[in-house]
Copies of this chain bind each other. A is one copy, B any other.
């Protein structure tokens, strides 16, 4: 692993790192913020998965997470959104290829060679984080924005034992039916739409996957609300499944980092609360709803 840059911020260290990924078969870059408390003890890890067109740098520059992460003592890991470099791409379509990995393991040529963001984030990158950073891997949380909100929710649903909590900003909750994600899924996973359900948050809940609870913030003036996001679909599924979901609609907010940064503190506190709970998931879920009402 190569250090690209390190810089002191809010008492901690914001770093950018590069490594040769065997899963994605290319060089990958990611950002890690280590809070000051790591000097004395391993810290919980919060993953932030970014949206379409983003790299690790967007939330690092504009997410405004460091002040609160330093206060709470959270390590924040910000991965890239796709393989990079000399990999197959659809350069004239920002919703397919580089910057649009959709957090799946592609099964179709030529994308199956590199587009394996699911395994990269579940297997390869956590091992690196555990090796090189003062991380308490028994306490992990995950969040994301837009395509990254989709990624965070499916990873939580498919790995409920790993993540203590999950939240999202303006997530894509049903990628298998959203016009802006279908073209990528058909190229990555093939024409059989049944296979897309494996990476579809709403379908996963309908199919029996469970997670203690979710927090979703959504801008009411988000230009992609009706086209690609439609959080009410996931809200309905969670309601039917008995999964507590707090969906907050925010008047006037759009899809940008101005929206994310406004509510970032809320999300970090929400996760920190759950990461430090030693009780079971059920207890956590019950306690959390009261907490959400006060954040």
Contacts and interface: CB of A to CB of B under 8 A. Distances in A.
Contacts of A8: 219, 221, 252-254, 258-259, 262
A138 B259 CA distance: 31
A16 to B, nearest CB: 11
A262 B62 contact: no
Nearest to A10: B262
Contact of A258 (B14, B258, B259, B261): B14
A96 to B, nearest CB: 26
Interface string A256-292: 1111011001000000000000000000000000000
- How many copies of the shown chain assemble into the complex? 2
Contact of A67 (B10, B61, B64): B64
Interface SS majority for chain A: mixed
Nearest to A220: B8
30 contacts: A7-B254, A7-B256, A7-B258, A7-B259, A8-B219, A8-B221, A8-B252, A8-B253, A8-B258, A8-B259, A9-B258, A9-B259, A9-B262, A10-B258, A10-B261, A10-B262, A14-B258, A61-B61, A61-B62, A61-B257, A62-B62, A64-B64, A64-B67, A64-B261, A66-B258, A66-B261, A66-B262, A67-B261, A67-B262, A67-B265
A176 to B, nearest CB: 30
Interface residues of A, number: 23
For A7, A67, A259, which residue has the most chain B Cβ atoms within 10 angstroms? A7
A219 B8 CA distance: 10
Interface of A: 7-11, 14, 61-62, 64, 66-67, 219, 221, 252-254, 256-259, 261-262, 265
Nearest to A33: B258
Nearest to A67: B64
Given A64-B67, A67-B262, 20 more contacts: A7-B254, A7-B256, A7-B258, A8-B219, A8-B221, A8-B252, A8-B253, A8-B258, A8-B262, A9-B258, A9-B259, A10-B258, A10-B261, A10-B262, A61-B62, A62-B62, A64-B64, A64-B261, A66-B258, A67-B265
Contact of A261 (B9, B253, B256): B9
Contacts of A7: 254, 256, 258-259
Contacts of A67: 64, 261-262, 265
Contacts of A14: 258
A23 B258 CA distance: 32
A187 to B, nearest CB: 32
